[in-house]
Amino acid sequence: MIRHIVDDVYQIAEYLPARAGVEAVLVYVLLNDGLPILIDCGAQVHRVGIMRELTELLDARAPEVVILTHSELPHAGNLSHIAREWPGVRVIVSNVMLPYIEITPQVPLANISTAHAGALLTPAGRPLQFVFALLKDQPGSQWIFDPRTGVLFCGDGFGYATTAADVQLFGDELPGGVSVAQFRGHHQTAFHYLRWVIPERFNADMDALFARHDVRVLAPIHGNAIRADIPGHVARLQQAVAEIRAAGVHA
């Protein structure tokens, strides 16, 4: 399903069953004044729906760039189909992702470039800040911040599951927003190491990240975009991390 988020940013959503309900697998699209940028490209299992909706949304324009938050199949599994449909597309990955077998056979090496945390690049003319991912499920995980719209594309971070009845709602459209329990359910499965994290240090780093960047929208891959009450949702994630740690200590 295609939904407009803010300005020129859209999400294409597919969904999978999860332990706590239904979990999104998203592709984000920045139309970018006719030079589209994709953040992740979805899972191969969703190829038909994703390619159909991408074609509809792009309206005969070819994407210029695919930026991967990391190389897991729900995020990069559709890359071969993107490259086959639009062979000139360029791909940006983190430095440690370049040698990964999931990436290099799909796209010519000449079309792949790297970005390290802290880099400010202008792919397709769009200034984007590559941010150190505080939540990593792969060494190559990276977050991307778009200063123009205030959207933080945060990979598996800030993910959550919903009920089938709420599956098409943005996070801020849920009654009360995304709950601590929803964040906890996703993050304790996606990031097993959180049971050993020191919450005070993690939460201080999270506060510092949001102090540096004027984040107005959270864009997780496994949860619809969250467009309101960003400080409240950050606080709920921080509480979820503290609860995962506390449960891990007593497990």
pLDDT at 244: 95
Sorting pLDDT into bands at 50, 70 and 90, what band is 103? low
- The domain that contains 222 carries what CATH number? 3.60.15.10
**What is the distance between the terminal CA atoms of the chain, rounded to a whole angstrom?**
40
pLDDT at 71 over 80: no
What tens digit of pLDDT does each residue of 152-209 get? 999 999 999 999 889 899 999 999 999 999 999 999 999 999 999 999 999 999 999 9
Confidence (pLDDT) at 250: 47
**Maximum pairwise Cα distance, the chain:** 55
Whether the per-residue pLDDT at 54 is higher than 80: the answer is yes
Cross-strand bridge partners of residue 128: 121
pLDDT tens digits for range 11-42: 999 888 877 788 888 999 999 999 999 999 88
pTM of the prediction? 0.94
Per-residue confidence (pLDDT) for residue 24, from 0 to 100: 86
| Tally of CB atoms within 10 A around 198 | 10
Domains identified in the chain, total number: 1
Q: How confident is the model at residue 102 (pLDDT cuts 50, 70, 90)?
A: low
pLDDT at 92 over 80: yes
* Domain range for 71: 2-249
Q: Which of 6, 75, 78 is nearest to 225 (CA)?
A: 6
The yes-or-no verdict on residue 134 having pLDDT over 60 is yes
Does 72 score more than 80 pLDDT? no
